[in-house]
């Protein structure tokens, strides 16, 4: 649909699409227009909360990423549904808390294990959009299962370029048959293809090519960079921009982000070149906060507490923005908490696609809130759970109750007054702590245990078994 269409009619259609979650897919698809807005999700990996200009970054210029917030909205309280990689991606692509279906850990790279990945009965965003006429492409990192049945081409995507595992070398890839996860072949539509560029540049080039190929179709593009995740490999083109940064880890991190920003710029300029900038809804976010301890990459999350793998704010509140020129007011700031789970229902509403009616969808269509048609918070509460419940959190308005570790007592924070989570109010406000604990318990009762363990947990378990046998 062109941006020239009547705003009231469009919002009415978007609201109708949300209501269509209870209607048969065929009926809703039949009513959809022949040309819908394009949808792009740009996801970075281990990108620090503070490492964008709108959150205070001064030493890493990223003009193209910054332009998304400048031309649209930045989310002051933008969250992901988990503090590390694969579970966040599972939630984003399903619009559901991933603990509902046991995807609470990172799956090991196991091409023969059907349990290690996004369950095959889960419905993904490209599958939701398909009845509305969308062609869908994934460029970059998958990390939602390595078996043939888990492959993105079997999960709703029509085209693919990237890699199946949880990370990759930026400079080289192995031959077919390579089993080392970070060296597996790069794939194009499921077939091995040579890596001839710096990986970040190759992903950006393929994303721009996807847009050009499908400029006459409504499309969904999921551009999932693995940068700035380790290994910290850079090329001179980007490293030369940051020789002045003294900390070598921060210097490499800056170079890796600069490569991503160049790629985002290529994508945005391609949209302009083919006349689609005003017809494209773009989300930008990271999969979690920057890692500050294990596999630290030089990122910063200040003023938030902690980082990746923590349910404190530094692990789950991320740099998050969206742009749809002509629809979302430029330079706006949305102050209420929102979630990466909201991307799927928002995209479905924009695309005139029905939501699955046979399961809970935890995300909310954000469009009426971003255009001013609705006010107030989209969510009454947001929830997080790690390790089957060893750590968890719930946010309601300005209050957050967080249990940071299995041996820790729940802590209560007023995030409006204490964004760094330094002053625990649990003892002073026991009624609030008890109410939020009860809300978490009700939510937690809907969930199932983790279906698989993260690779690190598996290694620890095997080590304990070996030690027990020796004893």
381-407 pLDDT, tens per residue? 999 999 999 999 999 999 999 999 999
- Please write the tens of the pLDDT for every residue from 211-235: 999 999 999 999 999 999 999 999 9
Q: Which of 201, 231, 199, 225 is nearest to 298 (CA)?
A: 231
How many residues comprise the chain? 471
Name, in order, each residue with C-beta under 8 angstroms of 453's C-beta and a sequence gap of 6 or more: 105, 461
From 143, 150, 168, 379, active-site residue: 143
**Overall average pLDDT of the 261-278 stretch:** 98
Beta bridge partners of 141: 163
**pLDDT at residue 295, rounded to an integer:** 77
Which class is 7-370 in CATH? alpha beta
- Please write the tens of the pLDDT for every residue from 130-150: 999 999 999 999 999 999 999
- Please write the tens of the pLDDT for every residue from 151-189: 999 999 999 999 999 999 999 999 999 999 999 999 999
Q: Answer whether 125's CB lies under 8 Å from 93's CB.
A: yes
Q: What region does 32 belong to: left with phi over 0, alpha with psi -120 to 50, or beta?
A: beta
Q: What count of other Cβ atoms lies within 10 Å of the Cβ of residue 423?
A: 12
Catalytic, 143? Answer yes
- Residue 323 has which token pair? 């742009």
Distances (CA, A) of 250 to 131, 212, 292, 377: 45, 35, 12, 36
From 82, 85, 229, 379, active-site residue: 85
- Residue 322 has which token pair? 């969206």
Look at 17-21, 43-47, 101-105, 433-437 and tell me which has the smallest mean pLDDT.
Answer: 17-21
Q: Answer whether 199's CB lies under 8 Å from 182's CB.
A: no
DSSP string, 168-217: --SS----TT---GGGSPEEETTEEE---S-HHHHHHHHHHHHHHHTTTS
The DSSP secondary-structure symbol of 101 reads G
Catalytic, 85? Answer yes
**pLDDT at residue 96, rounded to an integer:** 98
Model confidence, pTM:
0.92
């Amino acid at each position: 649909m062109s941006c020239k269409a009547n705003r009231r009619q469009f919002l009415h259609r978007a609201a109708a699409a949300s209501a269509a979650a209870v209607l048969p897919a065929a009926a809703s698809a039949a009513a959809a227009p022949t040309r819908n807005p394009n949808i792009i999700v740009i996801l970075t990996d281990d990108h620090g909360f503070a490492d964008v200009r709108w959150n205070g970054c001064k030493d890493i210029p990223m003009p193209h990423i910054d332009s998304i917030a400048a031309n649209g909205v930045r989310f002051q309280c933008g969250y992901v549904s988990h503090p590390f990689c694969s579970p966040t991606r599972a939630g984003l692509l399903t619009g559901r808390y991933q603990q509902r279906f046991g995807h609470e850990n990172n799956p090991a790279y196991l091409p023969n294990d059907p349990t290690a990945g996004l369950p095959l009965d889960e419905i993904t965003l490209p599958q939701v959009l398909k009845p509305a006429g969308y062609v869908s492409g994934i460029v970059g990192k998958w990390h939602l299962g390595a078996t043939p049945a888990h492959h993105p081409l079997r999960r709703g995507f029509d085209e693919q370029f990237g890699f199946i595992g949880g990370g990759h070398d930026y400079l080289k890839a192995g031959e077919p048959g390579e089993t080392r996860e970070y060296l597996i072949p790069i794939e194009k539509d499921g077939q091995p293809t040579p890596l001839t560029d710096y990986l970040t540049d190759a992903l950006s080039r393929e994303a721009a090519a996807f847009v050009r190929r499908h400029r006459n179709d409504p499309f969904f593009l999921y551009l999932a960079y693995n940068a700035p995740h380790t290994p910290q490999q850079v090329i001179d083109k980007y490293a030369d921009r940051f020789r002045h940064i003294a900390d070598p880890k921060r210097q490499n991190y800056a170079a890796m982000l600069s490569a991503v920003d160049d790629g985002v710029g290529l994508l945005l300029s391609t949209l302009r070149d083919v006349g689609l900038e005003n017809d494209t809804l773009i989300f930008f976010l990271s999969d979690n906060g920057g890692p500050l301890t294990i596999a630290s990459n030089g990122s910063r999350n200040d003023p938030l507490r902690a980082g990746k793998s923590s349910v404190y704010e530094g692990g789950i509140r991320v740099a998050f923005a969206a742009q749809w020129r002509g629809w979302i007011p430029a330079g706006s700031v949305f102050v209420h908490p929102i979630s990466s789970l909201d991307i799927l229902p928002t995209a479905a509403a924009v695309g005139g696609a029905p939501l699955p009616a046979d399961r809970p969808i935890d995300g909310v269509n954000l469009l009426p809130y971003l255009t001013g048609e609705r006010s107030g918070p989209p969510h009454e509460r947001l929830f997080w759970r790690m390790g089957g419940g060893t750590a968890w959190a719930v946010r309601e308005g300005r209050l957050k109750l967080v249990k940071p570790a299995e041996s820790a007592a729940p802590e209560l924070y007023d995030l409006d007054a204490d964004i760094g989570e330094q002053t625990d109010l649990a003892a002073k406000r026991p009624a609030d702590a008890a109410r939020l604990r009860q809300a978490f318990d009700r939510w937690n009762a809907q969930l199932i245990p983790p279906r698989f363990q993260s690779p690190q947990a598996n290694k620890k378990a095997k080590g304990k078994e070996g030690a027990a046998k020796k004893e």
